[in-house]
Structure 1
Amino acid sequence: MFMQVGFLYFCVLEDYFTGFTLHRKGWKSVYLYPKRPQFLGTATTNFNEASIQWTRWISGLTSVAISRFCPLICGPLKMSLVHLMCYLEVACMPLLYCLSIWGFALIPQLCLFNGIPLYPKISDSNFNIFSIIFISAISKSLYEVVTTGDQFRVWKNEWRIWMVRCVTCYTYGSLDAILDKLGMKEASFLPTNKVTDDEQVKLYEMGIFDFRAATMFLAPLVTVILVNFAAFVGAVFKALVVDDNGDRYWEKMFGQMFLSFYILVSNYAIIEGMIIRKDKASIPLSATLWSVVFSVFILVIGSVILC
């Protein structure tokens, strides 16, 4: 660890690590957010570059979380417990989020695909607990967006991109940091392109996703969509056609069916880019085919384990 021009370079996310170290030593910071912009900068302008940038950030956070500088281990000298918990939450968030979201995106769906209920029946009073937790999480994020002056559309996009990042950037970034910790590879620092492209700007202004990205970022997204689609369609078919007592099947599988349906609706842009759109910015056929292979593999392995 050494210092250059005021930053501590222990990981690829030097600003987080520098801030944590300075606050731990008693430095005080001020949140400056003037009405008149004080600085002018550029950001990534497409999905591929943004994913690369977020993967780098997540790698830096996870590398701190699993190192001797983890806020849980590197105790506070002059920091409050609440301040320490904030740093700990930020450092551990990527790894915990990617594991939990992958679990919610696949495990209930695999059980649904094989007719195994995980949640209480909709008529069971215990089902209200899961409903309250789900509604509370949605309401909290919506409240934060609205109270900061943004609109419902912003909340919808932020919620969707959070799920996208969890199965892509959070996963790859955490894996990159873990492999670096094990000595199997060095943490990567890939520069991002921030040059504005007129075609990308036009798509952005139209609210259309630009899916011209590496397959490593597209395949997990499409795979999750395909697994959820297969589980949801299979459950509906079984409830309407195969199962003689369809009402009871809907009742015991409603929680898992709703979860799959919610994931599909929230990520309709991915379905649109995969099936409906035919422009240059749609999801390439090669990424879709690879995702079909991955999703079939997941469904087969899940069925073998659960049956």
Structure 2
Amino acid sequence: MLVFSSLYEDKTEWGDRVGWIYGSVTEDVVTGYRMHNRGWRSIYCLTKRDAFRGSAPINLTDRLHQVLRWATGSVEIFFSRNNAFLASKRLNWLQRLAYLNVGIYPFTSLFLIVYCFLPALSLFSGQFIVKNVNATFLIYLLLMTLCLIGLAVLEVRWSEVLLEDWWRNEQFWLISGTSSHLAAVIQGLLKVIAGIEISFTLTAKAVEDADDVYAELYLVKWTSLMIPPIVIGMVNVLAMVVAFSRTIYSVAPQWGKFVGGAFFSFWVLAHLYPFFKGLMGRRRKTPTIVFVWSGLIAITLSLLWVAINPSSGPADSVAGGSNFEFP
């Protein structure tokens, strides 16, 4: 007995000219792009009752892998003929901008990684991120901050979400940007340039409490996507400890300089807080291999930075004091 069937693609203009695009992780985006690229129009329909409902991953690992699939699909779109740069004139500039954003956003992870490590490098070197802090720099910084605050207010007002929900979204944007988005870019570049296909697999772990409906929420499964955010967190914490020790044992401690540098590292760690909370799970246990690999990478990056840019000037000596040498 036939319960349900859909023949909207058969013998219709939609089926002949566009149809549903298969063979892509983000087939909905590709379908929409080709539809708009041919001059078709779409209307956003919001019903009082939910038209469709589905399930979504609730634990940290599955969520990261879901975002990885989406980001991988966007990278594939960027390196395919569905790139908005190659679109026809039928695609208006707002649509072109939207589809460009879909294909480009995973690549912002490269700049985000640099942003997350800059505060730590500043604390390690004893120098501020900007060499000369003048009135022009402070004005630019103030204007950018006001623009970001205004954008956040508009997002909250337009989407009618609570400020706490908006902040959680900002936190996960940094978490996914330094893990899933970065992995998608590496995966896409290796596939396009070298023809190498890699996958960031995870090790499944059985749910211990089957009676608890939220048992999966506390499930911790190892995945290599966890390494970059943990390394970022450990490097920033290590940099704050080093900078604090250097300041407190200095003959002329510059606490203002330390607080200014530590604030940016603390800001990065504040964004990563839900990640570390989810990493611990219900029993506050995390696979040892996570900390081993992350610790080794954090120490290696710290030593590499010291070797490339050894401390000099005020970091090594202070006016009126002596140089201390350790064996």
TM bucket normalised to smaller = 0.7 to 0.9
Quick check: 2:233–2:269 contact (8 Å CA) kept in 1?
yes
Deviation of 1:224 after TM superposition, in Å, equals 0.7
Deviation of 1:201 after TM superposition, in Å, equals 2.4
Quick check: 1:61–1:90 contact (8 Å CA) kept in 2?
yes
Matched, 1:264 2:255: no
1:157-306 matches, cutoff 5 A = 157-186=168-197, 199=212, 201=214, 210=218, 212-242=220-250, 244-247=252-255, 250-251=256-257, 255-272=260-277, 279-280=282-283, 282-306=285-309
Deviation of 1:99 after TM superposition, in Å, equals 0.6
TM-score norm. by structure 1 comes to 0.82
Matched, 1:83 2:86: no
Structure 2: runs of 5+ lacking an equivalent: 1-14, 311-327
Quick check: 2:123–2:261 contact (8 Å CA) kept in 1?
yes
Quick check: 2:25–2:70 contact (8 Å CA) kept in 1?
yes
Structure 1: runs of 5+ lacking an equivalent: 205-209
Q: Distance in 1 between matches of 2:26 and 2:19?
A: 14
The one-letter amino acid paired with 1:299 is S
Deviation of 1:139 after TM superposition, in Å, equals 4.4
Deviation of 1:125 after TM superposition, in Å, equals 5.0
Q: Distance in 2 between matches of 1:284 and 1:144?
A: 38
45, 49, 68: which one aligns with 1:55: 68
Moved more, 216-225 or 283-292: 283-292
Q: CA RMSD in A?
A: 3.2
The one-letter amino acid paired with 2:184 is G
Moved more, 284-293 or 54-63: 284-293
SS state at 1:36 partner: coil
- In structure 2, do the counterparts of structure 1 residues 65 and 157 end up closer, same or farther at CA, with 3 Å as the change threshold? same
Measured against aligned partners, the alpha-carbon deviations of 1:123-173 in whole angstroms (never above 9, x if no partner) come to: 745224224323532442354134422212211211111110001110111
Deviation of 1:101 after TM superposition, in Å, equals 0.8
Q: Determine which structure has greater relative contact order: mean sequence separation of CA pairs < 8 Å that are 6+ residues apart, divided by chain length.
A: 1
SS state at 2:252 partner: coil
Measured against aligned partners, the alpha-carbon deviations of 1:39-96 in whole angstroms (never above 9, x if no partner) come to: 1221222221121111111111011112343212x1323111221111111210111x
Quick check: 1:62–1:92 contact (8 Å CA) kept in 2?
yes
Deviation of 1:25 after TM superposition, in Å, equals 0.6
Matched, 1:149 2:160: yes
Quick check: 1:111–1:118 contact (8 Å CA) kept in 2?
yes
Q: Distance in 1 between matches of 2:219 and 2:131?
A: 38
Correspondence for 2:21: 8
Paired residues in the alignment total: 291
Quick check: 1:10–1:17 contact (8 Å CA) kept in 2?
no
Deviation of 1:29 after TM superposition, in Å, equals 0.7
Quick check: 1:122–1:255 contact (8 Å CA) kept in 2?
no
Q: Distance in 2 between matches of 1:189 and 1:263?
A: 25
SS state at 1:267 partner: helix
Q: Distance in 1 between matches of 2:117 and 2:250?
A: 23
